[in-house]
Copies of this chain bind each other. A is one copy, B any other.
Amino acid sequence: MEMENSNGSSLQVQPLSSQNVGTLFNSVEAFIFDCDGVIWTGDKLIEGVTETLEMLRSKGKKLVFVTNNSSKSRKQYAKKFCSLGVPVNEDEIFSSSFAAAMYLKVNKFPKDKKIYVIGQEGILEELELAGFKGLGGPEDGKKHIEPKSNCHFEHDKDVGAVVVGIDHYINYYKLQYATLCIRENPGCLFIATNRDATGPMSASQEWPGAGCMVGAVCGSTQKEPIVVGKPSTFLMEFLLQKFQIGTSKMCMVGDRLDTDILFGQNAGCKTLLVLSGITSLSALQDPSNNIKPDYYASKVADILKFLED
């Protein structure tokens, strides 16, 4: 397949094959995997993942799992991997919930300030593990406030950051709380775990993702957030520190062009698109798409299959 990139020059997007898999395999020391649509769909492991990851480990490759889904913490993700029969260490997992906590840590967010959360357990758990005080999230999921002419909504003036991620219990109370913090608390940060429009939350459908909740807060504050998940390369700093491997020796494997592949390219990694998730071959080949991975394959297990050929 030959494609034109945005500069007008033509770029090859190669299907992964028995001929080129060796070149990719030998030039890469660490594989970075997205999870949804790559490792699993919903709660179902994608065929051949276990054997492929085992083979990569046995050949000395480093493995990292990067997910924009902020609903779980690293610990919760490790449990999910384990329940699916895939042994993965907590410190091989980089979720956007963890990224939000690390962003605050790296930027020396004061420990006496608080963080208001629109999102689920994962963000609050990671904030706590990093020594921060979070509020909101699940505990505000059933709260309701009806604006009346004589009511005044109180918010904590010590909130110095708002973190917004996917939240299935989004409501007007949380939106008003977050909006007041960002509009009225001087210097309050507005952090988005990611801006994915949708996510594969059931096997058959896309459902609104964190981009929906982030869009709501952008709409009420007229501010743009700091994004810590893909395609932002904030997490790459951690990977570089952890592995001491140049990004040109890393390969990002993902199913989304606008987050995974863009993230890999922004960081200078090789990129492999798998068609086991949201992106179809026709979407990849559509003339309106200008994000081109180095390779594409039907699924992760193709790496193993082609190496064995």
A218's nearest neighbour on chain B, judged by CB, is B215
CB distance from A255 to the nearest CB of B (A): 16
Q: Are B208's CB and A172's CB within 8 A?
A: yes
A197 touches B222 (CB 8 A): yes
A149 at the interface (CB under 8 A from B): yes
Q: What 0/1 pattern do residues 160 to 176 of A give for CB contact below 8 A with B?
A: 00000001111110011
A44 within 8 A of B: yes
Give min CB distance, A93 to chain B, whole Å.
20
Q: Of B151, B202, B213, B222, which contacts A219 at CB under 8 A? A: B213
Say yes or no for A212: interface residue by CB 8 A criterion. yes
Q: Can you offer 17 A-B residue contacts whose CB atoms are under 8 A? A: A41-B149, A42-B150, A149-B202, A152-B202, A169-B172, A170-B171, A170-B216, A171-B171, A179-B207, A179-B208, A183-B198, A195-B219, A197-B221, A208-B216, A212-B219, A213-B216, A213-B219
A135 to B214, CA, bound (A): 26
Considering only residues 121-174 of chain A, those with a C-beta below 8 Å from chain B are 144, 146-153, 167-172
Contact A215 B208 (CB under 8 A): no
Complexed CA–CA distance, A33 and B217 (Å): 29
The distance from the CB of A156 to the nearest CB of chain B, in whole angstroms, is 15
> Interface digits, A12-49 against B, CB 8 Å rule (1 contact, 0 not)?
00000000000000000000000000000111100000
Contact A175 B208 (CB under 8 A): yes
Q: Verify B219–A153 contact, CB threshold 8 A.
A: no
**Beyond A147-B168, A150-B202, A208-B219, 17 extra complex contacts between A and B, CB < 8 Å:** A41-B149, A42-B148, A146-B168, A147-B201, A147-B207, A151-B202, A152-B202, A168-B172, A169-B171, A171-B171, A183-B198, A197-B222, A213-B216, A215-B219, A215-B220, A216-B216, A218-B219
Q: Which B residue sits closest to A153, measured CB to CB?
A: B205
Q: What separation, in Å, do the CA atoms of A151 and B42 have in the docked complex?
A: 10
